[in-house]
A and B are shown apart, each in its own frame.
Chain A
Amino acid sequence: MHRILLLFAHPALALSRVHAQLLPLAAGVDNVTVHDLYAEYPDEFIFAKREQALLDVHDVILMQFPFYWFSTPGILKSWQDIVLEYGYAFGDKGDALKGKYFGVITSTGGRDYTFQRGQGHRYAVRDYLLPLESMARLCNMHYLPPFVIHDSHRLNAEKMDLHKRNYRFYLDSLSSVDQYYAHWRQAVNVNSVLFSGQEDKENSLNG
C-alpha cells in the first residue's frame, strides 16, 4: 500500500466549484494525507524541514490545484523553491525523493478540446506542466500524467458526480501504481487511460 501525500493549493477555497467537493473525498481515503498548503501556511512561509519530513514518509506525491494562468498557484512554486533543497531533493546526496511517484490533479475552465494540441490553447495541460515534469525528473521521481477536470465553469451536478467517482477511482488505483505506470506514463492525461470509453478520451499522446 503506497502512502499518498496530497499537496493541495487553492487560495480561495470559498469560491471553488471543483476542489471543495473533491477534498473531502481525498480526506476519506485511508492512505492519503491531505496537506492543504494555504491552510498550513496562510502567510506562505513554508517550513522546509517539516515538509521534507512529510515527503520522507510518503511514496506518491500529488499536487492538486486549479490551473491558474496555465500553471500552479503561487504557493506551490514557493513550495518547490523552498522545500526541494540542494542536497535533499537533488544534487550531491540529494536523493530523498528518488523512486517516488509524482503526479498532478488539476481543473481548467476551458472546454476539453481547447486543450488539444494545436487547438485553442495550442498545448495540452501536460505540456503546460512541463516544468513540474522536469522537476520530477531532476529529483529522480516517476512522473505521472495529470488528472484533469476540464470545463469547471459549466459543471452540473451530474457531471460533477462523474468527476468525483473518477477522482476517487484514481486515488484508489494509485495504490498499485507500480503495475500501471508503464501503461500510463506516455498518456497526455491519466483520465484518457483510466476511463477510456468515457466522454473525455479525446487525447492520446502521438503528436
Chain B
Amino acid sequence: MDDFLLKIVIFLLASVIVVPIAKFFKLGTVLGYLIAGVLIGPYMLGYLGVGDQTSLRNIAEFGVVMMLFLIGLELKPSFLWKLRVPILGMGGAQMLLCTVLIALIAWAFGQTWKTSLAIGMILALSSTAIVVQTLSEKNLLGTKAGRSSFSVLLFQDISVIPILAILPLLASFKVVDQGENGHGTAISQWLLYQPGYVRMLAVLIAVLLIITVGHFLASRLFRLIASSKISEIFTATALFIVIGVALLMESVGLSAALGTFLAGVMLADSEYRHEIELSIEPFKGLLLGLFFISVGASINFDLFMYRPWAVISMVAGIVIIKFIAMYGIARLFKHNHAQALLFACAMAQGGEFAFVLFSFTADNLILPPRLTESLTLAVTISMLITPLLMIAYEIISKRRGLSANTQQPNPEFEEDNPVIIAGYGRFNQIIGRLLMANGFGCTILENNPKVIETLKRFGQRVYYGDATRPDLLELAGASKAKIIIIGLKEPDKVNLLIETVKKHFPHLKIFVRAIDRVQAYRLIEHDVTYFQREMLDSSLEVGAHALVALGYHPYTAHRQARIFKANDEKMLYELYQAWKDDPHLERGQQPGEQYISKTRALSDALSAVLRHDRYSESLTVADDLSWEPAPTEEELIERALAEEMKAEKARNAVEEAVAAAQEGVVAEQVERAAEAVKSVVEEAEAAQKEAADAENGTAAEKAEDDATQEDAEAAPSEVTEKNKE
C-alpha cells in the first residue's frame, strides 16, 4: 500500500516538475510527460521497477479510453456520419499502404512473408493518444488535417479487430491459446473457445447494447442520478459507464477505446453531456499523463545500448516510411502541401496498440521475442519523436509561411471581431444580419452542423463548437471582443454561458434572448447588459394590428401596444421581486420534476401577470392623457360623476368588509331568523292545506291565513335590519 502510494507520489511529482518546464519551452505537455517517464524510469533514476510500467499502463490506458469517450461526446452521430469518407477512404488506404510498405521492407531484411505481414500490420497503426493530445493542445484538431488524422485513427481502432483475427493465421507455429488465458474476464475466456460466428454475434450484440443503452437508457439513468443531487454519484455513474463499456468491449474482443467512443457519440445528444464531460475530464487528463509517463518509463535503454544501430534504423524506418506514406495519402485525398505535411508529422509513429499486439504475437510465437522487444522499443521511441516532429513542423511552417493548414479549410478564429454570437438560430440570425449589415464582424459559434452547412452555402462563416467552453470562447476571440450575444436554446446552457463569460471575460457586454418569463427572472438575477423576451415585441405587433382591425386608429393601436409593453416590463421587475423570494425553479432541481415544475412556474407567473393586468387601471385608451384637450363642461361633469361612483364603490366595499368582519356574530342571528321564517312559512302552508281541505273556508279562516302571511313577510325584514346594525 505504502509502496503504491509512494509510486503515485513519484508520478505526480515528476509530472508537476517536468510538464510545466516542457510547456515553458514550448515542447508541449505530451513530450513533458514522456520525458518525465524516461527520468523516473528504471534506466535513469530507477524509481520505477522494470515490471511496474506495464502494470501501471493497464490503468493508464484508461486515459486513452476516456479521451476517446470525451471525443465521442463532442461528436454527434450526424457529424460522425459526415466523416465517413475520410474514415473509410483515408483510413483504409493508409492501413493498406503502410502495411504493404513496411512488410516489404521487413521482407527485404530477410523476414518470412508471414512475419513481415504481421510487422507491417502492427506498425501501420498510429498512436491515438499522442496524436489527438498533441493536435488538440496546439488547437489543430479542428483543421482539415486534424480531422483527417482523427478519422484515420478511428479506422485504425476499428481495424485492430480484424488484425487480432488475422495474426494467429500468420503464426509460424501452432498458436497456443493458453498464452492468452492468463488474463481476461470469464466471458472473454469462454468466447475464446467458441467458433467464429459466435464471436461475431457477441461483438454485434455488444455494439447494439451500447447503442441502445446509450441512446435510450443512459439519459434516463443520468436524470435519475442527477435527481439524487449527489454530485459524486453522478461522477461514479459516468465512470461506471466508461469503464463498464470498456470491459464489455474487451471481453468480446473489440478495442475498449472504440467502444467508449461509441458510447460517447451516443451520449452526445444528451442534455447531461456537459456534466458528464466535466466529471470525466480530470480522470482523463491524469490517466493520459500516466499513460505517457509509463510509455516514457518503458524505454529499455539496456536493449538500446546492446543494439543501438538496429534500434535506430528501426525507428528511422518507421518514422520515415510512415511519414512518406501519410504525406502521399493526404495529397491523394486533396490536402494541400501544408495540410499534408501536418498530417504526416502527426501520424508518423507507432501506436499504443502495437504494445498489445506485439505481446500477443510474442505470446503466440508469431514473432520471435527478441524481434518484438526491439520493435516495441522502436515504437516507443517513435512516439517520443512525434512531439519533436510537430515542433519541427511548426518551425518550418512558420518560416515558409505555410499557415494554410490553419487558414484555408477551417480557420481557427483568427479574426478579432467585436461581436461573438453564441448560437445561430432564427433569433440570432436576424441580430447577426443587422450587425453585419452595419459592418460589424461577428464570430458565430453554433453546434448544429445543419445550420453551419446551410450558412456556409451562402458564404457565411460559422464555427462548430459548444460556446459554454471557456477555451472555445478564448479561441473565438472573446478576450478581444466587446459584446457577446447569446441565443442558445437550453436555459441551463444560457446560465452556464453567462457564468462562464462573467468569470473568464468580465469585460464582455452580455446580450441575451429570454425564452420565457422565468428565464427573464434568471437574467435579471444575472444582471446581464440587456435581455429581451423573444415573443414580446412580435406578439405586441400582431396585437396592435388586431386592435386596428377592431377599429382603433393605427397610431393609437401602436401607442397602446407600447404602453402595454412599458407596463409589462415594469411588472416583470415587480414580479421578479416576488419570484426571487420563492423561486419555483431552483438551480439543480431534480430533472425528473423539472419539466412539471417549470410549467408550473410558468403558469404561476402567467396568473400573476393576469392578476396584475386586472388591477392596473392605466392600460386603456381613456387613461392616456397625452394630446388630451381641456375638457368640456359635460366631460367635467361626467368625470366628477365617475369619480363619485368610484368613491361610492369604495364605500360599499368598506361596508361589505365591515359586515364580513361581523359575520361571525350576525350569522347566528341570521340562522335563527331563517328558522323562524321557516316555521312561520310551514305554519302558513299547513293552514293553507287545512283551508283547502275545508273547501270554501270561512272569512275568519281567510283572515287568519292573511295574518300568518304577513308574519312571514315581516320576519325577513327584521333580519335585514339586524344585519345593518
Interface string of A103-135 (1 = CB under 8 A from B): 000000000000000000000000000000000
Instruction: Collect the chain A residues with CB atoms within 8 Å of residue B437's CB.
Output: none
* A169 proximal to B (CB < 8 A): no
Chain B interface, DSSP helix/strand/loop, else mixed: loop
* B627 proximal to A (CB < 8 A): yes
* A47 proximal to B (CB < 8 A): yes
> B616-637: which have CB < 8 Å to A?
625-631
A45 lies within 8 A of B626 (CB):
no
* A28 proximal to B (CB < 8 A): no
A82 lies within 8 A of B630 (CB):
no
A86 lies within 8 A of B631 (CB):
yes
A45 lies within 8 A of B562 (CB):
yes
How distant is B366 from chain A, measured CB to nearest CB, in Å?
79
A86 lies within 8 A of B562 (CB):
no
Instruction: Collect the chain B residues with CB atoms within 8 Å of residue A91's CB.
Output: 630
How distant is A35 from chain B, measured CB to nearest CB, in Å?
18
Instruction: Collect the chain B residues with CB atoms within 8 Å of residue A43's CB.
Output: 562
* A74 proximal to B (CB < 8 A): no
The chain A residue sitting closest to B565, CB to CB, is A45
The chain B residue sitting closest to A84, CB to CB, is B626
* B59 proximal to A (CB < 8 A): no
Interface string of B292-326 (1 = CB under 8 A from A): 00000000000000000000000000000000000
How distant is B123 from chain A, measured CB to nearest CB, in Å?
67
* B598 proximal to A (CB < 8 A): no
Q: Which of B559, B566, B628 sits near A86, CB closer than 8 Å?
A: B628
Q: How many residues does chain B have at the interface if contact means C-beta atoms less than 8 Å apart?
A: 10
Instruction: Collect the chain A residues with CB atoms within 8 Å of residue B630's CB.
Output: 86, 90-92
B562 lies within 8 A of A85 (CB):
no
Q: How many residues does chain A have at the interface if contact means C-beta atoms less than 8 Å apart?
A: 13
Instruction: Collect the chain A residues with CB atoms within 8 Å of residue B562's CB.
Output: 43, 45
A45 lies within 8 A of B559 (CB):
yes
| Cα(A91)–Cα(B639), bound, Å | 15
* A48 proximal to B (CB < 8 A): yes
B626 lies within 8 A of A48 (CB):
yes
| Cα(A90)–Cα(B630), bound, Å | 9
Given A47-B566, A86-B631, A81 and B626 touching (CB < 8 A)? yes
The chain A residue sitting closest to B628, CB to CB, is A86
B625 lies within 8 A of A81 (CB):
no
Instruction: Collect the chain B residues with CB atoms within 8 Å of residue A86's CB.
Output: 625, 628-631
> B468-512: which have CB < 8 Å to A?
none
> A85-106: which have CB < 8 Å to B?
85-87, 90-92
How distant is B222 from chain A, measured CB to nearest CB, in Å?
46
| Cα(A86)–Cα(B632), bound, Å | 12
A85 lies within 8 A of B566 (CB):
no
How distant is B306 from chain A, measured CB to nearest CB, in Å?
80
Instruction: Collect the chain A residues with CB atoms within 8 Å of residue B629's CB.
Output: 86
The chain A residue sitting closest to B561, CB to CB, is A45
Instruction: Collect the chain A residues with CB atoms within 8 Å of residue B631's CB.
Output: 86
| Cα(A86)–Cα(B627), bound, Å | 8
Instruction: Collect the chain B residues with CB atoms within 8 Å of residue A47's CB.
Output: 566
| Cα(A47)–Cα(B629), bound, Å | 18
Instruction: Collect the chain B residues with CB atoms within 8 Å of residue A90's CB.
Output: 630
Interface string of A62-93 (1 = CB under 8 A from B): 00000000000000000001110111001110
Interface string of A38-74 (1 = CB under 8 A from B): 0000010101100000000000000000000000000
How distant is A84 from chain B, measured CB to nearest CB, in Å?
9
Q: Which of A45, A87, A92 sits near B625, CB closer than 8 Å?
A: A87
| Cα(A90)–Cα(B628), bound, Å | 12
A85 lies within 8 A of B559 (CB):
no
> B193-251: which have CB < 8 Å to A?
none
How distant is B626 from chain A, measured CB to nearest CB, in Å?
4
The chain A residue sitting closest to B559, CB to CB, is A45
| Cα(A85)–Cα(B629), bound, Å | 8
| Cα(A91)–Cα(B562), bound, Å | 27
The chain B residue sitting closest to A78, CB to CB, is B626
Residues of chain A having any CB pair with chain B under 8 Å: 43, 45, 47-48, 81-83, 85-87, 90-92
Residues of chain B having any CB pair with chain A under 8 Å: 559, 562, 566, 625-631
Nearest first, the 6 A-B pairs at minimum CB distance are: A82-B626, A45-B562, A85-B625, A91-B630, A86-B630, A81-B627
7 residue pairs A–B, Cβ–Cβ below 8 Å: A48-B625, A48-B626, A81-B626, A85-B628, A86-B630, A90-B630, A92-B630
